[in-house]
């Protein structure tokens, strides 16, 4: 397992020659954010999909009680999700098209239902009734969510996980290896004619916060990424933050265990819903 000192020493090599490229310690499929230890206390994509399927099935059964044939289906995006940006931009293809801007928000297929059916689906009818029958609070879609709600859900655990995700980022940014890698990154940028102390400062450049994406912005973003490769800043930062998170997770283990138990219970409820007879 790489240590922060080991990766940091790579970044601290002289600028006369570009360091030999090494395999990244970050899972490239997950990106830095979801490769960090605290991500283990979030739902995986497959677990989130399981919950959505159970919610959708419950919603469909609720609609059927009112003799409405309804298929919840799935939201389908026609675009790939944007690259992870925990340590600033990370995709050359995005930098080439959008500079520092976020790619366009993915579009989703919208369900097409009548106003009357929508009132049943979301419980928006003023009377609280549908064709003379009482409608669940927040409609049939709300019933789908409520079916998988865990009483006494671990809000403390969620808050602890959120705190760790925020505070580990800030603390690791001030670590010696990260500050040294940022210095190397800044020198690299300076050699290309850009004066920034960190990638976060570059992203916050007022010139890049509005209007059309300029050629200058795209060139800056590309230089940013090239200097990240040269300094190995993302890997240095990731390793430092990973160590901070390990410590924080140990300090908050009881609350995080509660959060994991809450996730496990919701998943058991979802499997029960999906295995129940129609």
What is the pLDDT at residue 16? 38
Q: Is the pTM of this model over 0.85?
A: no
What is the pLDDT at residue 269? 94
155-169 tens-digit pLDDT: 899 999 999 999 999
What is the pLDDT at residue 11? 39
In whole angstroms, give the CA distance from residue 48 to residue 58: 15
- Cβ atoms of 11 and 180 within 8 Å: the answer is yes
Question: pLDDT-based confidence at 7, cuts 50/70/90?
Answer: very low
Question: pLDDT-based confidence at 17, cuts 50/70/90?
Answer: very low
Strand duo 133-134 + 129-130: pairing: antiparallel
Q: Which residues pair with 189 in a beta bridge?
A: none
What is the pLDDT at residue 10? 39
Q: Please give the mean pLDDT across all residues of the chain.
A: 87
In whole angstroms, give the CA distance from residue 140 to residue 137: 8
Question: pLDDT-based confidence at 144, cuts 50/70/90?
Answer: confident
Helices assigned H by DSSP within the chain: 4-11, 31-35, 45-65, 92-98, 115-122, 139-147, 155-173, 176-191, 199-203, 215-231, 233-251, 253-275
Q: What percent of the chain has pLDDT over 70?
A: 86
């Amino acid at each position: 397992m790489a240590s922060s000192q080991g990766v940091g020493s790579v970044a601290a090599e002289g600028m006369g020659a570009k360091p030999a490229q090494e395999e990244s310690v970050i899972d490239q499929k997950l990106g830095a954010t979801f490769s960090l230890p605290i991500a283990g206390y979030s739902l995986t994509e497959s677990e989130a999909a399981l919950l959505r399927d159970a919610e959708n099935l419950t919603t469909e059964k609720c609609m059927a009680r009112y003799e409405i044939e309804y298929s919840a289906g799935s939201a389908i995006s026609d675009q790939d999700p944007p690259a992870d940006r925990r340590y600033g931009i990370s995709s050359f293809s995005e930098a080439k098209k959008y500079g520092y801007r976020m790619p366009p928000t993915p579009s989703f297929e919208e369900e097409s239902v009548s106003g009357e059916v929508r009132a049943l689906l979301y419980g928006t009818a003023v009377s609280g009734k549908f064709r003379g029958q009482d409608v669940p609070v927040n409609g049939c879609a709300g019933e789908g969510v409520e079916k998988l709600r865990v009483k006494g859900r671990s809000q403390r655990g969620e808050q602890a996980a959120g705190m760790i995700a925020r505070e580990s980022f800030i603390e690791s940014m001030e670590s010696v290896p990260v500050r040294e890698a940022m210095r190397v990154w800044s020198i690299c940028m300076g050699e290309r004619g850009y004066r920034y102390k960190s990638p976060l400062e570059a992203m916050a450049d007022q010139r890049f916060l509005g209007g059309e994406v300029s050629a200058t912005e795209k060139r800056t973003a590309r230089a940013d990424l090239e200097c990240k490769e040269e300094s190995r800043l993302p890997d240095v930062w990731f390793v430092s933050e990973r160590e901070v998170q390990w410590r924080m997770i140990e300090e908050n283990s009881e609350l995080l265990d509660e959060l994991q138990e809450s996730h496990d219970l919701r998943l058991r409820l979802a499997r029960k819903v999906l295995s129940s007879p129609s």
